[in-house]
Amino acid sequence: MRIVVLEPLGLEDEKVRSIAGKIIGEGHELVTYKDKVEDIDVLKKRASGADILVIANMPLKGEVINSVENLKMISVAFTGVDHVDIKACRERNIAVCNAAGYSTSSVAELTYGLIFSVLRNIVPLDKATREGRTKTNYSQNDLSGKTIGIVGTGAIGTKVAEIAKVFGCNVLAYSRSKKAEVEALGVTYVSLEELLKESDVVSIHVPLKNDTRALINEEKISLMKSNAILINTARGAIIDNTALAKALEEGKIAGAGIDVFDMEPPIPKDYPLLKAPNTVLAPHVGFATEEAMVRRAHITFNNIAKWLEGKPENLV
């Protein structure tokens, strides 16, 4: 079969081919591209003749999917699949698998990087130090003893909860379903409204779906404490970022750490959060550690191998 990797996977081509060695050794053709494009016509041309497509987080629209006559399977080197036209895949019975779990620890670790950056004002203090200034006018706050509210207790949210307990935090959680293993950590499930009212740190870890889009809107943000901070390493559109920027500018909450936006970076210069105070922004890097890139490549090609064997894994 012809397997086409439509975008770079964050590894050298030699490494990708080594990880895909079993599949190649069975006689399947592997085609890779070293640049990421979103032009529909270019993607159609690159995908032409493929039986299997591999993407990471680039949008894959139905127009491209439907142009590939023999397409049977898409292996997504990413946890979320909201950037793939799943409806088009369902209509054509195209299997879609994701790389579940490859970045759980990576995203959880960045969550705490953002929390500490905001609580300790690390970014502005780096600038102050280089300019010969001191900590004057910059607040410093502990995490220990604070209440962390985790919205979503999937694999990443659960990992964030585990780490929070190590730091001596009280942990609240909101999720559509309660997990005994999460409660066993000492986590208390509450309503979203109570979580927002009681938490010093609110961290988002739900997938982007119709019912989570703009889940954290102006009304929900207004429930938060004035000294609370909001962290998002999940999906940008889960938060109304215009409302968030306004709340930060008006001092209704104390700060934010944001790794994801309602678009992929680069972010336009007029994007509201760029001018919001007490905000640390990152260009969607939570998943992108070197170790995670290796893990996801293994999962991505293992998904293909299992599908070829008739024993698919990580179907979405």
- Give the up-direction half-sphere exposure of residue 80: CA atoms within 13 A in the CB hemisphere: 20
Query: Which among 46, 83, 205, 284 is annotated as catalytic?
Result: 284
Gyration radius of the chain's alpha carbons: 21
Q: 148 and 172 in contact (C-beta within 8 Å)? A: yes
User: Which of 264, 295, 309, 313 is labelled catalytic?
Assistant: 264
Residue 284: active-site member: yes
Among 46, 83, 205, 235, the one annotated catalytic:
235
Q: For residue 264, indicate whether it is catalytic.
A: yes
- Active-site amino acid positions: 235, 264, 284
